[in-house]
Amino acid sequence: MLKLLKLVPNKIYSNNVVLKRRRQLIAKIDEQILLATDSNYKPTKIKWVRNEDGTERKLEIPKRVRRWWTEQLGGTILLTIRYGNKVIKLEEGKNAIELSSKAELELTLQSIKQAVCN
């Protein structure tokens, strides 16, 4: 009966560190896109809180998210890409993208997301 089936070794790809980091970076880029486009966007996280009587309950609290961009005096915007707390170097000695206005921010983040996906 087993000779009729095609048997192959099982390869587990879920432990691939590079793919895991790409997925995390893509999720953070999506969060930055939401921050750039929606001024009312407030991400939340779930926290367990203990009441006075000792019971625990879930509580949604706002999550602190840092913007990856800063606005300069001349109206230009400097966009840095972060993984965790570290700024990613895009080229040797260059770690920011200069944008002429905030309108370009979403499009630039989308193109960076496409580059990370590929």
Residue located via tokens 């193109």: 111
β-strands 77-80, 82-83: how paired? Answer: unpaired
pLDDT of residue 10: 78
Q: For residues 96-112, b (16+ Cβ closer than 10 Å) or e, as one string?
A: bbebeeeeebeebbeeb
Please indicate whether residue 12 or residue 109 has the higher confidence score (pLDDT).
109
Residue 3: band (very low, low, confident or very high) from pLDDT cuts 50, 70, 90: confident
β-strands 82-83, 86-87: how paired? Answer: antiparallel
Q: Is the pLDDT of residue 92 over 90?
A: yes
Residue 15: band (very low, low, confident or very high) from pLDDT cuts 50, 70, 90: confident
